[in-house]
Structure 1
């Protein structure tokens, strides 16, 4: 039976494994954490947002980044300490400004196609993930921000998205809980939200039921090629012991988030992924008053670069900011405080006395497009680098990647589904 090793059990890894299993492959997932979805797929903003498909490669981003460099509460923050990785990534980021329009349209189309894949999977496998289908409302505080959004909207509609401008009065009717003196907004009724951790762990369980083997606490240390690909990895036991293991496979798919860069180097590929830190808070709505005062419609505040998602009756996720500071997972109090204060300002009746903070590293390519396809070596593939849109795009990129694998490493016909 044709065996594929998938490295990573986040949203892209389990989505890839599921797509391969449905084609009849024997799949083993190697995950360095003890459970699925414990890194970037743990507590993100929750938006399934084709309306957030605009890539960041624009001169306005560069200008704002320079202006915000010394402002600790800025939406985008960069540690100026020089590293080759950071500055090579930034140079490639700037070189991709010329692809801003093309990549935004392509990302929009990808995000729209991903929706049906994901919803079909959730229905088929009975995965509950606090899915809320009430659209996403983008809010703008001034004319300048709204005018830029109008230009972006032309690209999103070119990509096939149903998104419309809304006046201040309509903002209030779409989400009555929202407080603020806004200029205007855009509303995307077809976008939605959900709990990425619940979905990903549910899909990991579905993969096991389909025959996948999941190896947790497994850190890949070396990859060789003999007759087949050989992955050497160390399994860390619960009592601190370690066991060396070797897995032979006909193909490897790297879906390891920010660790994909190091794994790609083992395989002879250059994958210039940079870890861009994002923060979130989960606000527990412990009484009926707080539940009524919190929004159900998902929001994106363009000025603050903050999003919200309602996760069931009793939780509100608030997330945002981008921080260029290497593989640093520290949760900074000043960044969390910004999210809490924003929540208090826009939803003054929501109690923030029980808030759970989190930080994760978004795996971003310089062109803001995921790396989906073959590596240099035969049998090597990638589905990684989705940046801030991994939750939104992974179902579609996994379906595409599975077809690429099938063309290069055909499944044994008698095992095909």
Structure 2
């Protein structure tokens, strides 16, 4: 039996470890935090949203980003401080604009496939994660946004996802709690929502039952494929573990680690924010929605967890590895709740920020690297949870195939999937 190391304990790493364990491989997961799912998989928007598969690579988004650069509360904020990495990333982002349609179709197709695996795993392992299979409603305040949504729906349909246009009256029938004036919406009844942190921890426990070893508090320092992994423990000790192969699922840290292995994985940390609103009163619980929402114009998503929590997340900030939670970025999320659901008491709000690992063409990197025994599953951007089960299956198949061969044999070039 081959020894496989998975580097990273977020949603991508844990789903990868689970898929590998189901194939009978000997798996050890390395995570620098004391527990899995403590970074970007901690408090995201909570959506399993194939309907959110639209690629960001468009001239309209470029124009919006330029126009918003001086607004601290902008939905998409590019901080002007230059870096070579940022410049290279945006150059590749622009070069991918002609493939916007094909990319959107591919991501939608992958998202539809992913949820089939994820729901099967959750049922098989009896994971409770506040799942709501009540669909996702995209809302639009003007005709231009609504019509753009219709064009996106046509692309999603090519990827196997059905999304239908709805009138304001139909929107309120779908979600009676929603307040405000809207031109129309698009509703995907097959989408769902839930708590990514609870799901990841539940799947991690399932991994342990299937024999996966978790080395938390271990920050990987170097990888020698086919030989060993060197890590620094929380206590500062340098330790070494023998391995046959490694799958790098390290989120925004994947780029630096890949460079040591001769691979270029151009992941950029795109910061997103969220607030979790405690629904502590009867009135707040009654005023909060049960259907998950997307406000396309403001780049916000919203999901209800159980009876007593409401999560609003979104915005995109290009500011490197800055993890600071900025008040001017949190305030628009709170304001949106007060406008859209005025009956919710916002006195209990927990803010959070995380760094999305995003490739410039929006497509995750899933497959082998240059060196035998090195694999990647990273760069999922704003759809990490939505896509994770599919890319985990893809990479696990590749690793299982390699495990039945000699790692000295040349593997086919790494592929991107979405």
TM over 0.5: yes
**Contact 1:25/1:411 (8 A) holds in 2:** no
Q: Name 1:179's counterpart in structure 2.
A: 179
Q: CA deviation at 1:221?
A: 1.1
CA drift of 1:152 comes to 0.9
Q: Is the 8 A contact 1:24 1:411 kept in 2?
A: no
The corresponding residue for 2:230 is 232
What is residue 122 of structure 2 aligned with on the other side?
122
1:190-212: per-residue Cα shift (whole Å, max 9, x none)?
00000000000111111111111
Deviation sequence 1:2-55 (CA, Å, 0-9, x none):
100000010000000000000000000000111000000000000000000001
Q: Which residue in 1 is equivalent to 2:321? A: 327
Q: Secondary structure at the match of 1:242?
A: coil
Helix, strand or coil: the match of 1:336? helix
Determine if contact 2:153/2:162 at 8 Å carries over to the other structure: no
Aligned to 2:364, which of 334, 353, 370?
370
- Equivalent in the alignment of 1:415: none
2:397 aligned with 1:399: no
- 1:272-287 paired onto structure 2 within 5 Å: 272-287=266-281
| Aligned residue runs from structure 1 range 261-340, under 5 A | 261-340=255-334
- Which residue does the alignment assign to 1:149? 149
Partners of 1:128 and 1:224 lie apart in 2 by 38
> Which residue pairs with 2:351 in the alignment?
357
Q: Which residue of 1 aligns with 2:45?
A: 45
C-alpha separation between the residues in 1 aligned to 2:257 and 2:320? 17
**Which residue of structure 1 aligns with residue 416 of structure 2?**
none
Pair 1:7-2:2 in alignment: no
Whole-angstrom distance in 2 between the partners of 1:408 and 1:89? 31
Q: CA deviation at 1:411?
A: 8.4
Q: Distance in 2 between matches of 1:197 and 1:51?
A: 21
Q: Deviations over 1:202-252 (max 9, x none)?
A: 111111111111011111112225xx231111111xxxx322111111110
Q: How many residues align?
A: 406
Aligned partners of 1:281 and 1:411: how far apart in 2? 48
Match of 2:202 in 1: 202
RMSD value, Cα: 1.0
Q: Quick one: distance in 1 between partners of 2:356 and 2:37?
A: 13
Gapped regions of structure 2 (runs ≥ 5): 407-418
| Matched residue SS, 1:56 | coil
Q: Which runs of 4+ in 1 moved over 6 A?
A: none
Distance 2:123 2:156 in 1: 28
What does residue 252 of structure 1 align with?
246
Equivalent residue for 1:139?
A: 139
Which of 336, 340, 345 does residue 346 from structure 1 map onto?
Answer: 340
The match for 2:415 is none
The corresponding residue for 2:168 is 168
State the partner residue of 2:92.
92
SS in 2 for 1:106: helix
Match of 1:30? Answer: 30
Determine which of 213, 234, 243 is the counterpart of 2:237.
243
Alignment partners' CA distance in 2, 1:268 and 1:373: 15
Is the Cα contact below 8 Å between 2:323 and 2:354 reproduced in 1? Answer: yes
* TM-score of the pair, normalised by structure 1: 0.96
The Cα offsets for residues 383-415 of structure 1, whole Å up to 9 and x where unpaired, read as: 100000001000111011111112222289xxx
SS at match of 2:237: strand
Q: What stretches of structure 1 of length at least 5 have no aligned partner?
A: 413-417
> Is the 2:247–2:376 Cα contact (8 Å) retained in structure 1?
yes
Local SS of the residue matching 2:108? helix
Q: Which residue of 1 aligns with 2:410?
A: none
Matches within 5 A, 1:62-101: 62-101=62-101
Using the size of structure 2 for normalisation, the TM-score is 0.96
Q: Is the 8 A contact 1:23 1:411 kept in 2?
A: no
User: In the aligned structure 2, how far is the partner of 1:209 from the partner of 1:157?
Assistant: 38
Instruction: Give SS of 2:372's match.
Output: coil
Distance 1:44 1:411, change over 3 A: farther
